[in-house]
Amino acid sequence: MKKYKIFIACDTNKISEVKKIISQTNTKKLEIGYKFGLEFFYSKNGREFISKIKNKKIFLDLKLNDIPATCSAAINSLRDLKNINYITLHANSGEETIKAVIKSTKKINSKIKVLLVTVLTSMSNSSIKKIGHTKSIKDLIKKQAHLAKSNGCHGIVCAGSDLKFIKRIFKGEIITPGIRFKGDSSGDQKRVLNPREAFKNGSTALVMGRSIIKGNIKNNISKLIKELK
């Protein structure tokens, strides 16, 4: 069986829960990494805990979105985190910030891959119109994919519904959140896909949170392995 790459979203502010997630998702049948977003990174002792994780792929999902100087300074403040493999910034930050983040990341750790986040999976066409966009999600994300390509991003984070047209533009890593097993509640996500469909449509890695960490984690991992066979 091919070793599919899965990032488990550690969406909690409790270190005890993260320890449980890591211990119960341990398997040799998948390439497992761990995604830490704002909730855990901002929590008491969360940053310190992340810094001590060893021999795991770490995806730091901060979605940086500010002026170039501020985002560069933010990257520099992560200099002590030697175990980070991926970091995200938002396409809305613009070309100059993207360039600045890539430059700063290379300086502190050339092994960190910079991922550009496109339109969030919680947003729909009506959502983006309300914040002033006149283009459809598809047209907007095409622009963002070209932005990632032209500025040297290592990867893109996008919804499963966008994979087919993004992979024609961007040849780097394409990581897909908003993944649910068939029958699972989509929650606050608007554009979701199941694991098998996402890989079939061109994703190189998935981010899975609720479908894995809610309920019996070991059973959920077994379910994922079975679905991907």
Classified as helix, coil or strand, 168 is coil
Sites in the chain below the pLDDT cut of 70: 1, 183-191
The CA dihedral of 223, 227, 228, 229, to the nearest 10 degrees, is 100
- pTM equals 0.92
Tokens describing residue 114: 């910079």
CA pseudo-torsion sign 127, 132, 134, 138: negative
What's residue 2's pLDDT? 76
What's residue 182's pLDDT? 75
Q: Annotated active-site positions, please?
A: 63
Among the listed residues 211, 184, 161, the one whose alpha carbon sits nearest the alpha carbon of residue 8: 211
**What letter represents residue 16's amino acid?**
S
Residues in Cβ contact with 7 at an 8 Å cutoff, skipping those fewer than 6 apart: 32, 33, 34, 35, 57, 59, 175, 205, 206, 207, 208
DSSP state of 84: -
Residue ranges making up the domain that contains 222? 5-228
Domain count, the chain: 1
Which residues are paired to 175 by β-bridges?
157, 205
Phi, psi (degrees; rounded to nearest 5) at 185: -65, 140
* CATH code of the domain containing 176: 3.20.20.70
